[in-house]
Chain A
Amino acid sequence: MADTAILAAQTPAAKARPAGTALEARLAELDLPKGGFTAAARTDAAARLNAMGLPGKRDEYWRYTDPAAFNDPVAQPLAFTSRQSTLFDDIEQLKLVFVDGRFDAAASDALEGEGLEVSTLAAADASGDHWASDLYGKLETAGQNPVKRPFAVLNTLAANDGVLIRVTGKVSRPVHILYRREAEDADVIIRHVIRLEEGSELTLLETGGIAARSNVAIEVEVNKEARFHHIASKRADDAKIGIAHIFARVGEGALFKSFTLSVNGSMMRNEGVIEILGDDAVAHIAAAVLGDGTEGRFHHDDTVFITHAAERCESRQVFKKVLKNGADGIFQGKILVKPGAQKTDGYQISQGLLLDEGSQFLAKPELEIYADDVKCSHGSTTGALDETAMFYLRSRGVPKEQAVVLLVLSFLADALEEIEDDRLRGDILTRLDEWLTSRASA
């Protein structure tokens, strides 16, 4: 009895009902598509999810983030304070607009472009045959071992829409997925599937408010010598409660780079699952996070798993979180070097900058190495603003609030450097600077 009481106290979400019925309750609220080309993957996902159940706080990878908000059958409505995102507006792009998780053709550019084959999941899934059937749910399934990711399975089962992009050439114009919200209680599940054919190149941008609660998964296959850049910006009230997965498979000589900017929100979990399968490939994943607990809860979790299964590959994880007013930042990052993945160069850094004493940063770096000729390093630090640097800036006449902004940007610099394109990085920096400056006194 005593044990049960403790368990119940620790996991308030789980106490109401056992796991099986929690999942049933969750699924009962969903509008589950039957699927055309995805039908088999969805059936498989249903079986896997039933076997797996929804996570609880006792699960190893949910120890620092309570999954209750993702487990709840219905999303809490979220009032609008947001305006449309204008980030990357001045950059030539192929714009794809999603309103409350559904593709809005009228607001979007035509689904065409040189070197691109684009369709939407909802439209393509009406038919039984599509190139994406090789990938839909496949990368997600591969990413379930050894760590279970139930919400990604849920995504495979229940995704209603998304984009399917096949890249056959070097596409200079970024594809910009722009999310917009209309309903205050939208609870959306979106899946994007991307295949970069040999030697091709694509930049994918994601911005805007998705929904009151969102579950977005991206599966991306980067084939031989292809280059994929992903830049996501998740702003203020854009995604109060959101979970996102990116599953990547990186081939020989290919490059994968993903950067996410998160500015507030209340409960966010981003998982990156990257499998490097070809020799001489490069995979980088980075995030800059700014969390302020004043507007309610702020909890931001980055969970990354990079598998090296080929020789002479480089991986890099750069995660920086600036936290204040009781904000929580979590980082769980793993590098697995498989037998034979010689000359691996793996690097991981996670850092928390705490602007007050009420915030916390928790990091769990993991290395698992089964090859003997590799270079892997990891580091994690948590600290306050450097007082000497503060004094240096102020002694030059820079007011305290502005000095904090400069030092926060300085702290985030390594993560921002992961954005290769100068204009995209510049846009992000300008936006960050404006945001920080506008709230400098808060």
Chain B
Amino acid sequence: MLNIKNLHVKLEDEDKQILKGVDLTVPAGEVHAIMGPNGSGKSTLSYVLSGRDGYEVTEGEASLYDHDLLDMEPEERAAAGLFLAFQYPVEIPGVGNLTFLRTAVNAQRKARGEEELSSGEFLKVVREKAKALQIDAEMLKRPVNVGFSGGEKKRNEILQMAMLEPKMCILDETDSGLDVDAMRLVAEGVNALRSPERSFLVITHYQRLLNHIKPDVVHIMSNGRIIKTGGPELALEVEKNGYGDLLAEVG
């Protein structure tokens, strides 16, 4: 499970505090959603947890099971079971999607002291998982995310998630740029990965994604803190009334 205590984060190059004491626990097998207005610190939280440069933790801690996340390199966090689905997946020209996937899968296996997958084993697994996400052989061969539509990019993120089998998945605005059908497909992919051993943290502006990926717990984030936590009904309330009432209530 993911455990965040009193996390304070500022930008490395600027004197700007983004997270001002985040407390959050996501137990194994649960799906938690974080909603909040623009600039509340949702994406920063996902970047800090996965180890992106440019942020400085000034106080607090974050752990995934018995790993102290904040002390680890991004690749170590990944091998420990953390996965971030990007809001804007990165295009990498000249590197085939399959090469990339296999490099990532085997790097993680190696880091965990497991045997690397042979080419044949890997292909068998990837084809199976790609099929469920309607990713065809052509898309697997193409350079990573190059020329992919918005929907294809997000499906590719979910394919990576499926191949890497993380314990903790963070989805950063996975619904952005998706039409209704693409969103359903992505949500189905995510739901297929739900298991008692795997947790999800779904970051989103809108309630609509949560119609497809049903959360156990919803958190509202504002100004660098989680200001309210509730059940799925909290998301519906936001959808109906906006964030204004909630922010006023907390004051």
Contacts and interface: CB of A to CB of B under 8 A. Distances in A.
B59 interface: no
B104 A398 contact: yes
Interface in A366-416: 386-389, 391-400, 402-403, 406-407, 409-414, 416
Contact of B94 (A388, A394, A399, A411): A411
A392 B90 contact: yes
Interface residues of B, number: 29
Interface in B84-116: 84, 86, 89-90, 92-95, 100, 103-105, 107-108, 111
B50 interface: yes
Contacts, number: 82
A411 B91 CA distance: 12
B84 A395 contact: yes
A398 B53 CA distance: 16
B67 to A, nearest CB: 14
B74 A394 contact: yes
A395 B92 contact: no
Interface string A48-74: 000000000000000000000000000
Contact of A413 (B78, B83, B94): B94
B94 A396 contact: no
B94 A392 contact: no
Interface of A is mostly: helix
A47 B193 CA distance: 78
Task: Select the residue from A394, A397, A406, A411 with max chain B CB neighbours within 10 A.
Answer: A397
Contacts of B79: 397
Given A394-B74, A394-B78, A399 B95 contact: no
Interface in A402-442: 402-403, 406-407, 409-414, 416-417
B203 to A, nearest CB: 15
Contacts of B93: 410, 413-414
B208 interface: no
A153 B183 CA distance: 66
A406 B84 contact: no
Interface string B67-83: 00000011101110001
19 contacts: A387-B53, A391-B51, A393-B100, A394-B75, A395-B50, A395-B75, A395-B78, A395-B84, A396-B104, A396-B160, A396-B164, A397-B105, A397-B108, A402-B107, A406-B92, A410-B93, A410-B143, A411-B94, A414-B94
Leading 10 A-B pairs by shortest Cβ distance: A413-B94, A397-B78, A397-B108, A394-B74, A396-B104, A392-B90, A410-B94, A394-B75, A397-B107, A410-B95
